[in-house]
Amino acid sequence: MVYDACVEVKLREGIADPQGSTIEKATANLGFTGITNVRVGKSIRFQVEAKDAEEANSIVTELCDRFLTNPVIEEAVIEIQVAG
């Protein structure tokens, strides 16, 4: 089976996010009030071949741990669904 994987890489809670805070400041300058807790991450999309969703999930998890995230500062949210 081929699965669509979407990995959202985001900074761990408590890690300073200079991009997020800069964007937050800018929203205020632009007149958008009440925008808070801006955090910037990145999303990485790809396809993965696996026999079932569970296997796909474990492949992607390992990929995230070893490569796509730096566990010192980042964590990943993984979404897997059948490609289509």
Partner 1 sequence: MQIVNFGGVDAVVIPGGFAHGDYLRPGAIARFSPAMEAIIEFAHNGGPVLGICNGFQVLTEAGLLPGALQKNAGLKFLCKEVELRVESTNSVLTNMAYEGQTLRIPINHFEGNFTCTEETLTQLQEQDQIILTYTDNPNGSMANIAGICNVERNVVGLMPHPERACHPLLGSTDGRVLLESFLQGAHATV
Partner 2 sequence: MTEPLHRSLGLTDDELASIIDILGREPNHLELAMYSVMWSEHCSYKSSRIHLKRLPTEGDNVLVGPGENAGVIDVGDGIAIALRIESHNHPSYIEPYQGAATGVGGIIRDIFTMGARPIAIMDPLRFGPLDDARSRWVAEGVVSGISGYGNSVGVPNVGGEIVFDETYVGNPLVNVLCVGILPKERLVLGQASGVGNLAVLLGSTTGRDGIGGVSVLASAGFGDEEKDAEKRPSVQVGDPFEEKRLIEGCLELLNEGLVVGIQDLGGAGLACASSETASRGGVGMDFNVSAVPQREAGMEPFEIMTSESQERMLAIVEPDNLEQVFAICRKWEIRASVVGKVTPTGALRIVDDFDGEVLGEVPASSLHEDAPLYQRPMAEPDQIDEIAADQAIQLDPPEQIEEDLKDLLISPQWATSQYDSQLFLNTVVGPGSDAAVLRLKHPTTGRNTGRGIALTTDGNHRWCAINPRIGAAMTVAEAVLNLACVGALPQALVNCLNFGNPENPVVMWQLSEAVDGMAEACNAFNLPVVGGNVSLYNESQGVNIDPTPIVGVIGIIDDLNEPPPGQAWNEGDRIMLLGPEANGLCGSAWAFHKGHRNGSLPAIDLELHQRVCALTRTLVTRKLVTGLHDVSTGGLGVCAAEMAIHSGIGCTLARIPDHISFFSESPSRILTAVDPENMPEVEELAGEYQVPCVRMGLAHGDTFSVKNLCTVQVEKLEQRWSKRLADALDGGTTQG
Site for partner 1 in 59-78 (CB under 8 A): 67-68, 70, 72-73
Cβ at position 18, least distance to partner 1 in Å: 5
Which one of 1, 2, 15, 26 is in contact with partner 2 (CB under 8 A)? 26
Q: What angle do CA 38, 43, 49 make, to 5 degrees?
A: 155
For residues 10 and 71, the answer to whether their CB atoms sit within 8 Å is: no
Count helices and strands (H / E) in the chain. 2, 3
15 binds partner 2 per the rule CB under 8 A: no
Q: Which residues sit at the interface with partner 2, rule CB under 8 A?
A: 22-23, 25-26, 29-30
